[in-house]
């Protein structure tokens, strides 16, 4: 090991935690029948709810992408660390 100090267990644990957290963001539907508000208010509520659901879905996707990128960066550092350690042994 050259000294970059990659803690693979910690890295994998954090990447897995992000992917697990993304599962908590699921798209839901809103009941379109609301007898207590006006049609305009109901339409506005539907639109706002749909936008919020799109935001949840987008955030969930970004969590998965971030987790994958974190894992990839850790893997790259591990490879660089191994290569550096091998190079230092021959000097």
Minimum mean pLDDT among 4-8, 17-21, 57-61, 86-90: which range? 86-90
Tell me if 78 is assigned to some domain: yes
Across the chain, mean pLDDT equals 79
Residues in the chain: 91
pLDDT digits over 37-71, tens only? 666 777 888 888 889 888 888 988 998 899 899 88
Tell me if 3 is assigned to some domain: no
* Global pTM exceeds 0.75: no
Instruction: Quote the distance between the C-alpha of residue 20 and its chain's center.
Output: 9
Tell me if 83 is assigned to some domain: yes
* Domain carrying residue 80: 8-25+36-90
Q: Higher-confidence residue: 40 or 82?
A: 82
The count of structural domains within the chain is 1
Tell me if 30 is assigned to some domain: no
What mean pLDDT comes out for the span 3-31?
A: 78
Tell me if 1 is assigned to some domain: no
Tell me if 47 is assigned to some domain: yes
- CA 11 to CA 19: how far, in whole Å? 13
Tell me if 63 is assigned to some domain: yes
Q: Kindly tell me if the per-residue pLDDT of 1 is higher than 50.
A: no
């Amino acid at each position: 090991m050259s000294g970059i100090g990659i803690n693979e267990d910690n890295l994998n644990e954090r990447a897995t935690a992000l992917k697990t957290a993304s599962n908590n963001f699921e798209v839901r539907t809103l009941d379109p029948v609301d007898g207590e508000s006006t049609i305009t208010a109901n339409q506005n509520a539907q639109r706002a709810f749909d936008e919020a659901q799109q935001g949840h879905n987008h955030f969930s996707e970004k969590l998965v992408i971030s987790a994958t990128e974190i894992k990839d960066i850790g893997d790259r550092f591990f490879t660089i660390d191994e290569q550096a350690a091998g190079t230092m042994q021959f000097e």
